[in-house]
Each structure stands twice: as C-alpha cells, then as structure tokens.
Amino acid sequence: MEFQNIETHEKDGIFYITINREDKLNALNIQTLSEIKTAVLAIYENPSIYGVILTGKGTKAFAAGADIAEFAGFNNVQGTQMSADGHAVLKTIENSPKPVIAAIYGFALGGGCELAMACHMRVAGEKAKFGQPEVNLGIIPGYAGTQRLPQLIGKGRALEYLLTGDIMDAQTALQFGLVNHVVATEEVMHTCESILNKIKLKAPLAVASVIRCVNDSYEKKADGAQTEIHEFGNFFGSEDFIEGTAAFQEKRKANFKGK
C-alpha cells in the first residue's frame, strides 16, 4: 500500500501505522483519516498480523488535532459529513479484530485525542499531553470525543475537560484511566511491542471475540452480555479451544492456529 500522509510497515507480525505530517504536528486532515481507515481495514483478515501500533512522526505530537485550515470555511452540511466520516474511521479502529495500541509522543489534542481513544490501549511518553480544546474554537469534538472520554475517565471529569478545554498531562491521564501506561519517551514503542508480544501467544479468535464483547457493552443497540454468551458458546469444539485445554492439561504452551 502506498500513502501520502501515513507510513506503514510490518515487522514480526506487528503492523505499524505512522502519521507522517510532522511539519503540521501530524494534524488530521480528511485524507490522512481516510488513509488510516484503509490501512486498518487491510489487516482485518490478514492472518500474519496480530496487532497494530498507531503513532505520529517525531516526538512533538501524536496528532495535534484536526487540520483547522481545511474545515474553517465549511458549512453545516460539510461539517456534518466531516464528523460522520471521522466517526466511521474511528469505528474501524475500535472494531478491529486485531488489538490497536496508540503510541503517544507529545500532543494528542482534539482529533488526535479522539484518535487515540478509539484505539484499544494507549501508551504515553512522559511528556505527552491530552485534551479536547474544541470549545476554544467555538465548536465541539466531532470524532466521538464527547462519547469516548466519559467512558474512559468518567462523566464529571470528562465534562470538566470538554467544557474548559484544559490540557491534561501524562501522569494525570494515567491516574484518570485515559492511558494504560506512562513511560520514558524512549520506552514508548518498546512497551507497545511488549504488550502485543504477550497477546501474540493467545488464541487469535479469542482475542477478536474479547474486543467484540467489550465494544458491545458500550453499544446502545447491542447487549454485551448476550454477545459474550453467544461468543463463549461458539468456542466449544473450535481447534483453538481443543488445543488450549489440551495444552493446559499437558502442562505445555498452546500452539494456536486461529481456527
């Protein structure tokens, strides 16, 4: 795949997506979001990929927000479409059957914070900054920031940051549950890889199923508990279940095939 605004490569089963607009602090224009969606969709059914790391070029910014110059002149129809398209991109990430981890250096603001929240996990460098400062522009978050931030840090805290536009440092983000880990800048990528290398040893079908069940618990049109019951039952008789239980009883490591 060839892209203009992102770089991609695969190494040892991990698919790396890097937003390559360092001179713009990796601001998310419409094309960049479209390219991210295309890249993520391409790994859905790729058996050689077991995880994704999404990051931004350089250490100044994961993504410092949407590209304001691009949408400053939009009318309400164009703005509505922009938001709907952004929601679709981030849903593609959230619904990926392969875990996606955001490796966050520097600023993750506005659309960048929303992009990070759509990932299944977040690892931040110690200098990372988070926020939804859209109210300072006379607008609100448009890529589900008003939805995912309360899920991650709670309604009261989320409202405070959404309404004030305040910026959150990395340690506060860790304390509030916005990120999974805060590490030294040079350890961010290694930490992401270590998490995915643990997941690599697990049954791929079970990993994808866990993601579906958890996502459904937040979907208004779905019943997460019923999804779990259905998914749980489907595993009986699967090759991975037979292998996993046999390996446990034989006190050896399981060799999962994703079947």
Amino acid, res. 124? A
The rounded distance, in Å, linking the Cα atoms of 18 and 36 is 9
Are 228 and 170 contained in the same domain? no
Q: Summarize pLDDT for 222-253 with one digit per residue, the tens.
A: 777 888 888 888 888 788 888 888 887 888 88
- Domain range for 49: 6-199
Coil/strand/helix, residue 52: strand
Are 221 and 132 contained in the same domain? no
CB atoms within 10 A of CB 249: 8
Say how many CA atoms lie within 13 Å of 78 toward its Cβ: 7
Are 223 and 125 contained in the same domain? no
Q: Summarize pLDDT for 132-142 with one digit per residue, the tens.
A: 999 999 999 99
Coil/strand/helix, residue 57: coil
Catalytic residues: 114, 134
- Last residue of some domain: 199, 217, 240? 199
- Is residue 92 domain-resident? yes
Q: How many domains does the chain divide into? A: 2
Are 92 and 161 contained in the same domain? yes
Q: Residue 183 is part of a domain; what is its CATH number?
A: 3.90.226.10
The CA-CA-CA angle for residues 246, 250, 255, to 5°, reads 55
pTM for the whole structure? 0.92
Q: Summarize pLDDT for 189-212 with one digit per residue, the tens.
A: 999 999 999 999 999 999 999 999
Residue 12 backbone phi and psi in degrees, to 5: 50, 40
- Is residue 255 domain-resident? no
Are 140 and 183 contained in the same domain? yes
Are 120 and 212 contained in the same domain? no
The rounded distance, in Å, linking the Cα atoms of 47 and 98 is 10
SS3 track for 115-141: HHHHCCEEEEECCCEEECHHHHHCCCC
Are 227 and 104 contained in the same domain? no
Are 191 and 145 contained in the same domain? yes
